[in-house]
Structure 1
Amino acid sequence: MSLRINATDALLIIDMQADFMPGGPLGVPGADRLPTLINPLCDLPFGVIVATQDWHPAGHISFVGQGGPWPVHCVAGTPGAGLSPALAQTHVGVVLRKGLHPDIDSYSAFEDNDHVSRTGLDGLLKGRGIIRVFVVGVALDYCVAATARDAVRAGFATFVLPDACRGVRQTPASVLDALGMEGVSQADAVDVLSYNRK
């Protein structure tokens, strides 16, 4: 399949937020280096570029104090929930906030973890005539993977760009192998960029 980007393609930038950068309460190693690849991708002629934000109420169920697995992070309205200042936002057309419900977490940009509450991203993309989605950001083994799986389920041809992602725990190869079994393709951001410069 061609890596030529056009108006039927969408770029989904997952959770490039201050609290997920190294030094943040849920810092993902190497996440601060991703804008060097993501920013040039934003200059390509995608039909829409969506940036997601974890946007949790205080006392969210995912926090350790509430019995969840994660330290307090990305509390709505705090500086830590803001998009990384290093991320070029000029071409970001949609900012989608997830994890808003106090009792349900939301890894995927498409739906909450209960698979009931949906964000509306599916309809937005289809309404724009999007056929393919390219997923980048953090964390590869959680929110990026969940978004890619749901994109396939929604009927989009889906690519994860591993060099423009970073993970928290699992090794990238095992995550990518599992995604491949579920119909997710992969291509490196450097290859997408070089192909579109021809």
Structure 2
Amino acid sequence: MLTPATTSLIVVDAQQGFTELCPAELPVPGGDAIVPQVNALLALPFARIDATQDWHPPDHRSFVGRADNLYPPHCVMNTPGAEFLPGLHAHRFSAVWRKGYDRDFEAYAVTAQHPAFAAFLSASGIQSVVVCGIATNICCFCTARDLRQAGFNVWLVEDASASIDVPAAGLFQSQAKAEGQAMGIRYCGASEVIAAMNT
């Protein structure tokens, strides 16, 4: 059961740079296919709907050749890769929280770049948070983990998200899900959220 008046939705990094629309960036399998399911969630009467957006400088520390040397350049600010996915009902977003804009600071989760985010949600009367986006086991998971640790009831919507293993960074789908479930994060489908919001 999710009470609309106390439940929020966070759409994490649903950006072109994480899909085959920008194949030279960081495409996640199935990334561009999540739009219909995300839009189905966006149609629900959440108390608020937030989005996060990777917004990297061209020399961000996570890029190949820089400090962490992990990823090809992706979601660089003011480029097509940083834009939201075509067809996404972004007009439903209450706010867009940009992250990764500091060259020397990595921010998988919105809470890493905006440490007061959880307190902001609490002050807004939010008790439950539904998370979806890209990638399930990386930025979605880190956001869900931090909010769960802050005391929220957290649901992670798998069919409105897309995943990818990144061995170089030690980021694996099965490991993240096991850790999330052990913390009490509920892994679910969009239909379960729809049913819970309409009960």
TM-score clears 0.5: yes
The structural deviation recorded for 1:22 is 1.7
Q: Answer whether contact 1:37 1:190 (CA < 8 A) is retained.
A: no
Q: In the alignment, is residue 127 of structure 1 matched against residue 123 of structure 2?
A: yes
CA–CA separation in structure 2 for the residues paired with 1:119 and 1:174: 25
Q: In the alignment, is residue 100 of structure 1 matched against residue 116 of structure 2?
A: no
The structural deviation recorded for 1:191 is 2.0
Structure with a larger share of its residues in helix: 2
Q: In the alignment, is residue 190 of structure 1 matched against residue 191 of structure 2?
A: yes
The structural deviation recorded for 1:38 is 0.7
Q: In the TM superposition, what are the counterparts of 1:12-161 in structure 2 within 5 Å?
A: 12-24=10-22, 25-67=25-67, 68-112=69-113, 118-161=114-157
Residues 183/195 of structure 1: CA separation in 2 closer, same or farther (3 Å cut): closer
Q: Answer whether contact 2:164 2:173 (CA < 8 A) is retained.
A: no
Task: Encode CA deviations 1:55-90: one digit per residue, 9 max, x unaligned.
Answer: 111200000021420000111121211111221112
The structural deviation recorded for 1:171 is 6.1
Amino acid at match of 1:88: H
CA–CA separation in structure 2 for the residues paired with 1:73 and 1:185: 29
With 48-57 and 118-127 compared, the bigger mean Cα shift is at 118-127
The structural deviation recorded for 1:168 is 1.1
- Cα root mean square deviation, aligned: 1.7
Q: Answer whether contact 2:4 2:197 (CA < 8 A) is retained.
A: no
Q: Answer whether contact 1:98 1:119 (CA < 8 A) is retained.
A: no
1:115 maps to which residue?
none
Structure 1: which 5+ residue stretches go unaligned? 113-117
Q: Percent of pairs identical after alignment?
A: 34
The structural deviation recorded for 1:124 is 2.3
The structural deviation recorded for 1:195 is 4.5
TM-score normalised to the size of structure 1? Answer: 0.89
Residues 182/84 of structure 1: CA separation in 2 closer, same or farther (3 Å cut): same
The structural deviation recorded for 1:26 is 0.5
Q: Answer whether contact 1:135 1:160 (CA < 8 A) is retained.
A: yes
The structural deviation recorded for 1:141 is 1.5
The structural deviation recorded for 1:120 is 3.1
The structural deviation recorded for 1:172 is 4.1
User: Secondary structure of 1:13's partner?
Assistant: strand
User: Secondary structure of 1:165's partner?
Assistant: strand
Instruction: Kindly tell me the number of residue pairs found equivalent between the two proteins.
Output: 191
CA–CA separation in structure 2 for the residues paired with 1:5 and 1:28: 32
Task: Encode CA deviations 1:126-149: one digit per residue, 9 max, x unaligned.
Answer: 221100001101111210110011
